[in-house]
Amino acid sequence: MLDIGQIHRAEYELDTSRSLRGKNPRKTANKRPDEKPPVVIAEAPGRIHILGDQGDPVSDNYLSAAIDRYIHVAVSPRKDNSFRFYAADLGERKRSTLVNLKYRREDRWANYLKTAIYLFSGMGCSMKGMNFSFCGNIPQQIGLASSTAIESAAAVALKNLLRIQISDMELAQKLHEAHQEFFSSAAPAVDYYVCLLARKDHFLFVDISGGVFEKIKSPFSLFRFLVIDSRVPRLGAENEMASRKADVLKGLELLSQKFDGASFKDFAAADILEALGNLPEQVRRRSMHIVEEIHRVNDAVEALQRSDLASLSKIIFHSHESLRDLFEISCPELDWLVKRAQELEGAAGARMTGHGFGGCTYTIIRKELVEEYKRRLEEYERIFGFRPVIYEVKIAKGARVIPNKGG
Kind and range of the H or E element at 43? strand 40-51
Contact 230, 337 (CB under 8 A): yes
Measured at the CA of 109, the angle between CA 57 and CA 119, to 5 degrees, comes to 65
From 53, 60, 191, 266, active-site residue: 191
Residue 225: closest CA among 392, 81, 353 = 392
Please give the single-letter amino acid code of residue 91: G
- Cα separation, 92 vs 35, in Å, equals 27
Contact 146, 46 (CB under 8 A): yes
Residue 351: closest CA among 54, 44, 46 = 54
Residue 50: closest CA among 309, 361, 404, 284 = 361
Contact 294, 265 (CB under 8 A): yes
Contact 57, 248 (CB under 8 A): yes
Identify whether 191 is a catalytic site residue: yes
Query: 174 pairs with which residues across the strands?
Result: none
Which positions are catalytic? 191
